[in-house]
Protein backbone atom coordinates (compact mmCIF):
# COMPACT_ATOMS: atom_id res chain seq x y z
CA UNK A 1 0.00 0.00 0.00
CA UNK A 2 1.14 3.51 -0.70
CA UNK A 3 0.08 6.96 0.36
CA UNK A 4 -1.77 8.70 -2.43
CA UNK A 5 1.11 11.11 -3.11
CA UNK A 6 3.07 8.00 -4.12
CA UNK A 7 6.11 8.97 -2.01
CA UNK A 8 5.91 6.73 1.01
CA UNK A 9 6.00 2.99 0.72
CA UNK A 10 4.93 1.08 3.79
CA UNK A 11 6.63 -2.20 4.52
CA UNK A 12 4.47 -5.19 5.48
CA UNK A 13 5.97 -5.04 8.99
CA UNK A 14 4.32 -1.64 9.52
CA UNK A 15 1.05 -2.79 8.10
CA UNK A 16 -0.89 -3.16 11.34
CA UNK A 17 -0.02 0.31 12.55
CA UNK A 18 -0.64 1.97 9.20
CA UNK A 19 -3.88 0.21 8.22
CA UNK A 20 -5.55 1.77 11.26
CA UNK A 21 -4.85 5.17 9.74
CA UNK A 22 -5.89 4.07 6.27
CA UNK A 23 -8.94 6.25 5.91
CA UNK A 24 -7.47 9.47 7.26
CA UNK A 25 -4.20 9.16 5.29
CA UNK A 26 -5.93 7.98 2.07
CA UNK A 27 -3.97 4.81 1.41
CA UNK A 28 -3.94 3.62 -2.16
CA UNK A 29 -3.57 0.10 -3.44
CA UNK A 30 -2.05 0.17 -6.92
CA UNK A 31 -3.21 -2.41 -9.47
CA UNK A 32 -1.17 -2.45 -12.67
CA UNK A 33 -3.09 -3.88 -15.59
CA UNK A 34 -2.03 -5.31 -18.95
CA UNK A 35 -5.13 -5.98 -21.04
CA UNK A 36 -6.09 -5.84 -24.69
CA UNK A 37 -8.08 -2.75 -25.62
CA UNK A 38 -11.21 -4.93 -25.98
CA UNK A 39 -10.76 -6.35 -22.51
CA UNK A 40 -9.96 -2.96 -21.01
CA UNK A 41 -13.20 -1.58 -22.45
CA UNK A 42 -15.37 -4.46 -21.23
CA UNK A 43 -13.75 -4.94 -17.81
CA UNK A 44 -12.49 -1.57 -16.68
CA UNK A 45 -15.83 0.19 -16.82
CA UNK A 46 -16.28 3.61 -15.18
CA UNK A 47 -18.45 2.03 -12.44
CA UNK A 48 -15.56 -0.26 -11.49
CA UNK A 49 -12.93 2.48 -11.50
CA UNK A 50 -15.19 4.79 -9.53
CA UNK A 51 -15.98 2.28 -6.82
CA UNK A 52 -12.34 1.18 -6.72
CA UNK A 53 -11.16 4.75 -6.16
CA UNK A 54 -13.64 5.15 -3.30
CA UNK A 55 -12.20 2.03 -1.71
CA UNK A 56 -8.61 3.21 -2.17
CA UNK A 57 -7.74 1.15 -5.27
CA UNK A 58 -6.09 2.74 -8.26
CA UNK A 59 -5.83 1.02 -11.66
CA UNK A 60 -2.70 1.95 -13.62
CA UNK A 61 -2.07 0.86 -17.23
CA UNK A 62 1.17 -1.08 -17.74
CA UNK A 63 3.22 0.29 -20.64
CA UNK A 64 4.31 -2.74 -22.64
CA UNK A 65 7.10 -0.75 -24.28
CA UNK A 66 8.88 -0.15 -20.97
CA UNK A 67 10.48 -2.64 -18.56
CA UNK A 68 7.88 -3.81 -16.03
CA UNK A 69 10.24 -3.38 -13.08
CA UNK A 70 10.65 0.33 -13.94
CA UNK A 71 6.91 0.81 -13.53
CA UNK A 72 4.72 0.92 -10.47
CA UNK A 73 5.39 0.07 -7.70
CA UNK A 74 2.36 -2.20 -7.86
CA UNK A 75 0.58 -4.18 -5.17
CA UNK A 76 -1.12 -6.35 -7.78
CA UNK A 77 -0.60 -7.02 -11.47
CA UNK A 78 -3.72 -7.96 -13.38
CA UNK A 79 -3.24 -9.28 -16.89
CA UNK A 80 -4.72 -11.06 -19.88
CA UNK A 81 -2.32 -10.99 -22.79
CA UNK A 82 -1.02 -13.88 -24.84
CA UNK A 83 2.41 -14.82 -26.16
CA UNK A 84 5.63 -16.38 -24.94
CA UNK A 85 7.41 -13.08 -24.60
CA UNK A 86 4.79 -11.67 -22.23
CA UNK A 87 4.84 -14.85 -20.13
CA UNK A 88 8.60 -14.55 -19.76
CA UNK A 89 8.36 -10.89 -18.75
CA UNK A 90 5.84 -11.82 -16.06
CA UNK A 91 7.88 -14.77 -14.80
CA UNK A 92 10.99 -12.61 -14.47
CA UNK A 93 8.95 -9.95 -12.70
CA UNK A 94 7.48 -12.51 -10.25
CA UNK A 95 10.99 -13.72 -9.38
CA UNK A 96 12.24 -10.21 -8.83
CA UNK A 97 9.14 -8.94 -7.01
CA UNK A 98 7.72 -11.71 -4.82
CA UNK A 99 5.88 -9.02 -2.82
CA UNK A 100 3.62 -8.30 -5.83
CA UNK A 101 0.60 -10.53 -6.46
CA UNK A 102 0.44 -11.46 -10.14
CA UNK A 103 -3.10 -12.45 -11.15
CA UNK A 104 -2.64 -15.12 -12.21
CA UNK A 105 0.68 -17.01 -12.68
CA UNK A 106 1.46 -17.50 -16.40
CA UNK A 107 2.06 -21.26 -16.10
CA UNK A 108 -1.31 -21.83 -14.49
CA UNK A 109 -2.98 -19.84 -17.26
CA UNK A 110 -1.19 -21.88 -19.94
CA UNK A 111 -2.75 -25.00 -18.44
CA UNK A 112 -6.27 -23.77 -19.32
CA UNK A 113 -5.20 -22.67 -22.79
CA UNK A 114 -5.32 -26.28 -23.85
CA UNK A 115 -8.76 -27.87 -23.96
CA UNK A 116 -7.41 -31.24 -22.89
CA UNK A 117 -5.43 -30.12 -19.84
CA UNK A 118 -8.05 -27.53 -18.79
CA UNK A 119 -10.52 -30.28 -17.82
CA UNK A 120 -8.00 -32.71 -16.32
CA UNK A 121 -8.48 -31.30 -12.82
CA UNK A 122 -12.24 -31.85 -13.03
CA UNK A 123 -11.79 -35.41 -14.30
CA UNK A 124 -9.26 -36.24 -11.56
CA UNK A 125 -11.52 -34.74 -8.92
CA UNK A 126 -14.39 -37.07 -9.84
CA UNK A 127 -16.62 -35.00 -7.58
CA UNK A 128 -19.67 -36.64 -6.07
CA UNK A 129 -21.52 -35.21 -3.08
CA UNK A 130 -24.38 -37.05 -1.41
CA UNK A 131 -27.72 -35.32 -2.07
CA UNK A 132 -26.11 -32.71 -4.31
CA UNK A 133 -24.84 -34.51 -7.38
CA UNK A 134 -21.89 -35.52 -9.49
CA UNK A 135 -19.59 -33.43 -11.65
CA UNK A 136 -17.58 -34.92 -14.49
CA UNK A 137 -16.36 -34.10 -17.98
CA UNK A 138 -17.84 -35.50 -21.20
CA UNK A 139 -15.92 -38.38 -22.73
CA UNK A 140 -13.30 -36.88 -24.99
CA UNK A 141 -10.41 -37.65 -27.28
CA UNK A 142 -7.49 -35.59 -28.57
CA UNK A 143 -6.56 -35.76 -32.24
CA UNK A 144 -3.18 -34.22 -33.04
CA UNK A 145 -2.94 -34.93 -36.77
CA UNK A 146 -4.10 -37.12 -39.65
CA UNK A 147 -7.84 -36.47 -40.09
CA UNK A 148 -8.26 -39.76 -41.96
CA UNK A 149 -7.53 -41.66 -38.73
CA UNK A 150 -10.35 -39.96 -36.79
CA UNK A 151 -13.25 -42.37 -37.54
CA UNK A 152 -11.21 -45.36 -36.31
CA UNK A 153 -9.82 -43.48 -33.31
CA UNK A 154 -13.35 -42.49 -32.29
CA UNK A 155 -14.62 -46.07 -32.62
CA UNK A 156 -11.65 -47.39 -30.63
CA UNK A 157 -12.21 -44.87 -27.83
CA UNK A 158 -15.93 -45.77 -27.74
CA UNK A 159 -17.16 -42.20 -28.21
CA UNK A 160 -20.84 -41.76 -29.13
CA UNK A 161 -22.09 -39.40 -31.83
CA UNK A 162 -22.79 -36.55 -32.15
CA UNK A 163 -19.39 -35.11 -31.26
CA UNK A 164 -18.36 -31.53 -30.60
CA UNK A 165 -15.05 -30.71 -32.28
CA UNK A 166 -13.06 -27.98 -30.51
CA UNK A 167 -9.69 -26.51 -31.49
CA UNK A 168 -7.15 -27.91 -29.01
CA UNK A 169 -5.53 -24.59 -28.19
CA UNK A 170 -7.41 -21.57 -26.83
CA UNK A 171 -5.28 -18.53 -27.56
CA UNK A 172 -7.79 -15.69 -27.48
CA UNK A 173 -8.24 -15.81 -31.26
CA UNK A 174 -11.65 -16.10 -32.92
CA UNK A 175 -10.52 -19.36 -34.56
CA UNK A 176 -9.96 -21.01 -31.20
CA UNK A 177 -13.72 -20.62 -30.59
CA UNK A 178 -14.74 -22.10 -33.97
CA UNK A 179 -16.47 -25.28 -32.89
CA UNK A 180 -18.41 -27.78 -34.94
CA UNK A 181 -20.82 -30.63 -34.41
CA UNK A 182 -20.24 -33.89 -36.27
CA UNK A 183 -23.24 -36.16 -36.78
CA UNK A 184 -21.81 -39.16 -38.60
CA UNK A 185 -18.68 -41.23 -38.49
CA UNK A 186 -17.52 -40.78 -42.05
CA UNK A 187 -17.61 -36.99 -41.98
CA UNK A 188 -15.25 -36.95 -38.99
CA UNK A 189 -12.34 -37.08 -41.42
CA UNK A 190 -13.31 -33.62 -42.67
CA UNK A 191 -12.26 -32.11 -39.33
CA UNK A 192 -9.01 -30.23 -38.93
CA UNK A 193 -6.68 -31.32 -36.12
CA UNK A 194 -5.28 -30.52 -33.63
CA UNK A 195 -8.59 -30.78 -31.83
CA UNK A 196 -10.54 -32.24 -28.97
CA UNK A 197 -13.56 -34.39 -29.81
CA UNK A 198 -16.10 -34.37 -27.05
CA UNK A 199 -19.39 -36.24 -26.71
CA UNK A 200 -22.32 -33.88 -27.06
CA UNK A 201 -24.41 -33.98 -23.87
CA UNK A 202 -28.09 -33.02 -24.13
CA UNK A 203 -28.73 -30.34 -21.50
CA UNK A 204 -32.04 -28.70 -22.41
CA UNK A 205 -30.44 -25.68 -24.09
CA UNK A 206 -29.34 -23.98 -20.87
CA UNK A 207 -25.78 -23.49 -19.70
CA UNK A 208 -24.52 -22.35 -16.28
CA UNK A 209 -21.62 -19.94 -16.25
CA UNK A 210 -19.94 -20.19 -12.88
CA UNK A 211 -17.77 -17.11 -12.35
CA UNK A 212 -15.05 -17.33 -9.74
CA UNK A 213 -13.22 -14.34 -8.27
CA UNK A 214 -11.01 -15.63 -5.47
CA UNK A 215 -13.45 -17.14 -2.98
CA UNK A 216 -16.54 -15.53 -4.50
CA UNK A 217 -18.79 -17.57 -6.79
CA UNK A 218 -21.54 -16.16 -9.01
CA UNK A 219 -23.65 -18.23 -11.39
CA UNK A 220 -25.57 -16.96 -14.41
CA UNK A 221 -27.70 -18.86 -16.92
CA UNK A 222 -27.14 -18.60 -20.66
CA UNK A 223 -28.91 -20.10 -23.63
CA UNK A 224 -26.94 -22.90 -25.19
CA UNK A 225 -27.33 -25.44 -27.99
CA UNK A 226 -30.65 -27.30 -28.20
CA UNK A 227 -30.80 -31.03 -27.55
CA UNK A 228 -30.18 -33.47 -30.38
CA UNK A 229 -32.79 -36.22 -30.56
CA UNK A 230 -32.53 -39.76 -31.92
CA UNK A 231 -34.44 -38.80 -35.06
CA UNK A 232 -32.01 -35.97 -35.89
CA UNK A 233 -29.07 -38.21 -35.20
CA UNK A 234 -30.36 -40.80 -37.67
CA UNK A 235 -31.30 -38.33 -40.37
CA UNK A 236 -28.42 -35.81 -40.13
CA UNK A 237 -25.04 -36.27 -41.73
CA UNK A 238 -22.05 -33.97 -41.94
CA UNK A 239 -20.20 -31.42 -39.88
CA UNK A 240 -21.94 -28.21 -38.81
CA UNK A 241 -20.18 -25.09 -37.63
CA UNK A 242 -21.54 -23.97 -34.24
CA UNK A 243 -22.46 -20.38 -33.52
CA UNK A 244 -20.83 -18.86 -30.37
CA UNK A 245 -24.09 -19.29 -28.53
CA UNK A 246 -23.00 -18.97 -24.92
CA UNK A 247 -21.21 -15.72 -25.57
CA UNK A 248 -23.56 -14.12 -28.10
CA UNK A 249 -26.90 -15.21 -26.65
CA UNK A 250 -28.80 -13.01 -24.29
CA UNK A 251 -28.84 -14.07 -20.67
CA UNK A 252 -31.42 -16.76 -19.89
CA UNK A 253 -32.03 -15.29 -16.43
CA UNK A 254 -35.49 -13.89 -17.13
CA UNK A 255 -36.73 -16.55 -19.54
CA UNK A 256 -39.66 -18.76 -18.66
CA UNK A 257 -37.74 -22.02 -18.46
CA UNK A 258 -38.57 -25.52 -17.32
CA UNK A 259 -37.46 -25.47 -13.66
CA UNK A 260 -35.90 -28.93 -14.02
CA UNK A 261 -33.57 -27.50 -16.65
CA UNK A 262 -33.03 -24.03 -15.25
CA UNK A 263 -32.54 -24.80 -11.56
CA UNK A 264 -29.03 -23.71 -10.61
CA UNK A 265 -26.52 -26.37 -9.58
CA UNK A 266 -26.58 -26.82 -5.78
CA UNK A 267 -24.45 -24.30 -3.91
CA UNK A 268 -22.48 -26.88 -1.86
CA UNK A 269 -21.50 -28.66 -5.08
CA UNK A 270 -20.30 -25.43 -6.66
CA UNK A 271 -18.41 -24.40 -3.55
CA UNK A 272 -16.57 -27.67 -3.40
CA UNK A 273 -15.85 -27.64 -7.14
CA UNK A 274 -14.58 -24.05 -7.05
CA UNK A 275 -12.41 -24.68 -4.01
CA UNK A 276 -10.80 -27.75 -5.55
CA UNK A 277 -10.26 -26.10 -8.92
CA UNK A 278 -8.75 -22.98 -7.39
CA UNK A 279 -6.21 -25.23 -5.72
CA UNK A 280 -5.62 -27.65 -8.58
CA UNK A 281 -5.41 -24.98 -11.28
CA UNK A 282 -3.62 -22.39 -9.15
CA UNK A 283 -5.97 -19.71 -10.52
CA UNK A 284 -8.11 -17.13 -8.77
CA UNK A 285 -9.81 -15.60 -11.80
CA UNK A 286 -11.73 -18.00 -14.00
CA UNK A 287 -15.12 -19.28 -14.99
CA UNK A 288 -16.55 -22.73 -15.62
CA UNK A 289 -19.13 -23.62 -18.28
CA UNK A 290 -21.31 -26.27 -16.72
CA UNK A 291 -24.33 -28.20 -18.02
CA UNK A 292 -26.87 -30.54 -16.42
CA UNK A 293 -27.59 -33.71 -18.39
CA UNK A 294 -31.18 -33.38 -19.57
CA UNK A 295 -33.51 -35.74 -17.75
CA UNK A 296 -31.32 -35.88 -14.63
CA UNK A 297 -31.47 -33.76 -11.51
CA UNK A 298 -27.91 -34.04 -10.40
CA UNK A 299 -25.58 -35.12 -13.22
CA UNK A 300 -23.36 -32.19 -14.19
CA UNK A 301 -20.58 -31.80 -16.75
CA UNK A 302 -17.89 -29.14 -17.01
CA UNK A 303 -17.27 -28.43 -20.69
CA UNK A 304 -15.05 -25.34 -20.63
CA UNK A 305 -12.84 -23.31 -18.27
CA UNK A 306 -11.83 -19.74 -19.13
CA UNK A 307 -9.16 -17.59 -17.56
CA UNK A 308 -10.22 -14.03 -16.60
CA UNK A 309 -13.54 -14.21 -18.48
CA UNK A 310 -16.08 -11.46 -19.13
CA UNK A 311 -16.78 -10.53 -15.49
CA UNK A 312 -18.71 -7.43 -16.49
CA UNK A 313 -21.60 -9.75 -17.40
CA UNK A 314 -22.00 -10.61 -13.72
CA UNK A 315 -24.40 -8.28 -11.91
CA UNK A 316 -22.54 -6.12 -9.35
CA UNK A 317 -19.15 -7.36 -10.55
CA UNK A 318 -17.57 -4.09 -9.47
CA UNK A 319 -18.35 -4.88 -5.81
CA UNK A 320 -17.16 -8.47 -6.05
CA UNK A 321 -13.92 -7.50 -7.75
CA UNK A 322 -12.98 -4.60 -5.49
CA UNK A 323 -13.72 -6.68 -2.37
CA UNK A 324 -11.50 -9.40 -3.77
CA UNK A 325 -8.61 -7.01 -4.43
CA UNK A 326 -8.83 -5.53 -0.93
CA UNK A 327 -9.01 -9.02 0.58
CA UNK A 328 -5.83 -10.04 -1.24
CA UNK A 329 -3.78 -7.24 0.24
CA UNK A 330 -5.30 -7.64 3.71
CA UNK A 331 -4.53 -11.35 3.77
CA UNK A 332 -0.94 -10.59 2.76
CA UNK A 333 -0.57 -8.33 5.81
CA UNK A 334 -2.12 -10.93 8.08
CA UNK A 335 0.50 -13.44 6.98
CA UNK A 336 3.24 -10.90 7.65
CA UNK A 337 2.21 -10.40 11.28
Ligand X SMILES: O=P(O)(O)O[C@@H]1[C@@H](OP(=O)(O)O)[C@H](OP(=O)(O)O)[C@H](O)[C@H](OP(=O)(O)O)[C@H]1OP(=O)(O)O
**Cα 152 from Cα 283, distance rounded (Å):** 37
Q: How far is CA 311 from the centre of its chain?
A: 9
Span near ligand X by CB under 6 A; candidates 11-19, 35-43, 44-52, 259-267: 35-43
DSSP per-residue letters across 226-271 = PP--HHHHHH--SEEEPP-HHHHSPBSTTS---HHHHSPPPHHHHH
Closer residue to ligand X (CB): 86 or 333: 86
Span interacting with Mg ion, options 140-148, 224-232, 258-266, 288-296, rule CB under 5 A? 288-296
Q: Which is nearer to ligand X, 187 or 306 (CB)?
A: 306
36 forms bridges with which residues in the sheet? none
Could you count the other beta carbons within 10 Å of the beta carbon of residue 313?
A: 16
| Binding letters toward ligand ADP, positions 257-296, x by CB under 6 A | --------------------------------x-------
3-state secondary structure of 79: strand
Which of 247, 255, 260, 336 binds ligand X (CB under 6 A)? It is 247
Stretch that binds ligand ADP, among 48-56, 184-192, 239-247, 309-317 (CB under 6 A): 239-247
CA atoms within 13 A on the CB side of 113: 16
Q: Known binder of ligand: residue 209?
A: yes
Asked if 161 is part of the footprint of ligand ADP (rule: CB under 6 A), the reply reads no
Residue 42 interface partner, choices Mg ion, ligand X, ligand ADP, none, CB cut-off 5-8 Å depending on type: ligand X
H-state helical runs in the chain: 15-19, 22-25, 37-43, 46-54, 84-96, 106-111, 120-125, 150-157, 230-235, 245-248, 259-262, 267-281, 317-336
Q: Per the annotation, where are the binding residues?
A: 39, 80, 115, 166, 177, 198-209, 224, 289, 304, 306, 310
Q: Give me the residues that bind ligand X (CB under 6 A), please.
A: 38-39, 42, 80, 170, 172, 209, 246-247, 287, 289, 304, 306, 309-310, 313
Amino acid sequence: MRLSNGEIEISTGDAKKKTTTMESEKMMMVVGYALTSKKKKSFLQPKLELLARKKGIQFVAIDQNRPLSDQGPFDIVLHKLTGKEWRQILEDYRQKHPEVTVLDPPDAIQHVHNRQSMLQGVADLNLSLDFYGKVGVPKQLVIMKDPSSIPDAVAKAGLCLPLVAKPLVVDGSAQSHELSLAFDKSSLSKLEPPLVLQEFVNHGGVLFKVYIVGEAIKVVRRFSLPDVNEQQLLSCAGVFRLPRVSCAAASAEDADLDPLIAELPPRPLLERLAKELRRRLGLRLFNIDMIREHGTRDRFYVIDINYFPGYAKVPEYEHIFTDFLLGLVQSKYKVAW
